[in-house]
Amino acid sequence: MGLIERRDITARFHPGGFMYVTVVYIHVRPEHVADFVESIRENHENSVREPGNLRFDILQSVDDPTRFIAYEAYRDEASAKSHKETVHYLAWRDKVADWMAEPRQGVRYDGLFPAAR
């Protein structure tokens, strides 16, 4: 999408801007799945209390229980960046580092609907 089309969508549907969304793909070593689930639950519970957080969903694959997705939606980029500086996130990141089967991959999206409130 070009800059012109993006501005048109923003002006028409999102005068306050898009939600700042990151979808994080996570692959955990099989022997650490239970530990990871407990740890990500704690991170989720703290993250949903952050200023600017709109959603922090954690999904686990039905076909491969070692694969997870974190859907993180924030009101704006500043709120999302602040998440990466919180005590709970930094502790979680360090705790799970050795449990990863491969590096986590975060992909940025603009959240179109629902519009950020």
Counted domains in the chain:
1
The DSSP call for residue 71 is E
Domain with 40 in it? 19-111
Written as six digits, the tokens of 50 are: 């952050």
Domain containing residue 51: CATH number = 3.30.70.100
Lowest mean pLDDT among 15-24, 47-56, 78-87, 100-109: 15-24
Is 49 part of any domain? yes
Is 9 part of any domain? no
Using the predicted structure, report yes or no on whether residue 114 has a pLDDT greater than 80: no
- Going by pLDDT thresholds of 50, 70 and 90, the confidence category of residue 72 is very high
Full-model pTM = 0.85
Tell me, what's the pLDDT at 61? Answer: 98
Q: CA–CA separation, 22 vs 17, rounded Å?
A: 16
Using the predicted structure, report yes or no on whether residue 39 has a pLDDT greater than 70: yes
Inter-residue contact 5 to 110 (CB < 8 Å): no
